[in-house]
Structure formats: C-alpha cells, structure tokens
Amino acid sequence: MLFAAIDRWRAPAPSAEKVRWLTQQGYAHRGLHGDRVPENSPTAFAGAIARGLGIECDVQRSGDGQAVVFHDWELDRLTDASGAVSERTAAQLGAIRLKGGEDTIPSLAAVLRQVRGQVPILIEVKSRRDKRVFALCLAVRRALEGYTGQHAVMSFDPRVSRWFARYSPHTVRGLVVTEENARTLSGRGRRYLALWHARPDFLAYDIRDLPSSFPEAQRKRGLPVLTWTVRSPELAARAAQYADAPIAEGAGLG
C-alpha cells in the first residue's frame, strides 16, 4: 500500500489517450533484420513498415552532437570499422557500411524521414551512467522537432525519461527494465527508485522476468507494459498474457 501511494505521487499514470497507441501493434526489434539485412538499418526499417509493424531502434550521440541509430558503443561487431561511435561525426558514421548488407549507419533524422508516421517508432536512448544525459537527450529532441508520427523515447537510464518529462512533456517516455541479477529485496527497491525518478508513461520489460509483480502493479494503474526481446512463439504467448505489446524479432514475430 505504501509503494502504491508513492507511485501515484512520484510517478503518476499517464492519460489513456496519450499512451493508447503503444498497445495497438507489435514492434520489430531493431527493425525487421536477418540474413543480409543488418539490424538498425534502413532496409530493416523498410521491412517492418511493409509488414505494418512498429519499429524499435537504438540511438546514441555522435562526436559532433547528432543522434545516430546504432546499438553498440563500438563499431567493431556491426561494421568493418573499429573504435567508439562517439569519436566519429555523423557524416563519418553515415559513410560506414553495416555488415551483411549495403546500408550505412543512419542518423535518427534520416530514419524519421523514412518512417514518415507510417508506423509507430520506439527510440531507445543509449546512455552511460558516468556521463550527463542533457546533450544526448537534446540531440534526440532536435531530431524529433516537427515529427508528427506516433513515437516514444525510452531508456534503461531513468534520467532520460526524467529529462523528457521536464523538457518535452508531450513526448511519450518509457523506462526499460530488467530484473536480471537483481531479484532481491534491494533490487526491487532500486526498481521503485528508478520508477519514481523517471516518471515514465510506460515500461519496457524484460520478457525473461514476466510474470512479475512489479510491472503488473504498474500495468494495473495505467502504465502500458511492453516486453523485449520476444524471440520465439513460446515467448510471444507469454507476452500476450503478461504484457500489452511485444518488441520481437525472428520467430517471435510470428
């Protein structure tokens, strides 16, 4: 009862109208990628659009302050280049080809021009706890200026959601959560502290942790619960029972 009261005070539920669209479709995790289609690539996003799937993508900040779509901090796994993403400008990153296809690393602005509101998009903002988030969040907000399609930002870092709550309150914002290695009482306490700091409109929860009393309590009071990463029919069935929409890839997309 005490936690429920603090939830209502510190992290009030959003209006149903603001978040209803989140639950109306599934989302392709890093686009519809696979053989010869790299993750987080324009081709992967085109595939998701063609199937009427929402898009989930990862965004971080380039060396010159632009929001770019790329998951890893380092270039090595996904390209033939090496080194930190943050050491390259957006133009330099845009010239680097992604392994497994012909696409290069896109900016968030370019992806938004490609999507054009045809499907919803979830933007996971990648942050480091030892770095300030203001410049990163500002880069994302600048890319979103004038974008009218359904979109949301989300992050494991509660400071990101809190920043958007303060500086862009109309932007739908989410807290990404995993209970991995933190299923103790102290871990549960940290999840509540993150929730209260983030003030999110929804949760994006690790499918491996469902069912769980923490997201279920938030779901009951009006925060949609999305779940990641759904990679099999069995996980899709679990997502259908315990969450409002899946973030899926491969066999999890059906």
Q: In this predicted model, what pLDDT tens digit does every residue of 188-237 receive, in sequence order? A: 999 999 999 999 999 999 999 999 999 999 999 999 999 999 999 999 99
Q: What is the mean predicted confidence (pLDDT) over 11-37? A: 97
Q: Give 245's strand partners.
A: 226
Q: Which structural domains are found in the chain, ordered by start?
A: 22-251 (3.20.20.190)
Q: Which amino acid is at 8?
A: R
| Phi-psi category of residue 26: left, alpha or beta, with phi > 0 → left and psi -120 to 50 → alpha | beta
Six-digit token string for 9: 């005070």
pLDDT cut 70: percent of the chain above it: 99
> Quick one: pLDDT band at residue 185, thresholds 50, 70, 90?
confident
H or E element: which one contains 184?
none
Q: Is the pLDDT of residue 2 over 80?
A: no
Q: In this predicted model, what pLDDT tens digit does every residue of 232-252 receive, in sequence order? A: 999 999 999 999 999 999 999
Q: Which residue, 96, 95, 90, 98, is CA-closest to 63?
A: 90
Rounded CA-CA distance 254/252 in Å is 5
HEC sequence for 62-93: CCCCCEEECCCCECCCCECCCCEHHHCCHHHH
Residue 78: DSSP 8-state: T
Q: Where are the alpha helices (DSSP H) in 42-97?
A: 42-50, 90-93
Rounded CA-CA distance 146/139 in Å is 14
Q: What is the mean predicted confidence (pLDDT) over 33-57? A: 97
Q: What are phi and psi of 130, to 5 degrees?
A: -90, 5
Six-digit token string for 144: 């979103």
Q: Is the pLDDT of residue 67 over 80?
A: yes
Q: In this predicted model, what pLDDT tens digit does every residue of 138-166 receive, in sequence order? A: 999 999 999 999 999 999 999 999 999 99
Q: What is the pTM of this model?
A: 0.97
> Quick one: pLDDT band at residue 1, thresholds 50, 70, 90?
low
Q: Look at residue 182 in the predicted model and tell me its pLDDT.
A: 72
Q: Which amino acid is at 46?
A: A
Q: What are phi and psi of 75, to 5 degrees?
A: -80, -15
Six-digit token string for 5: 């009261």
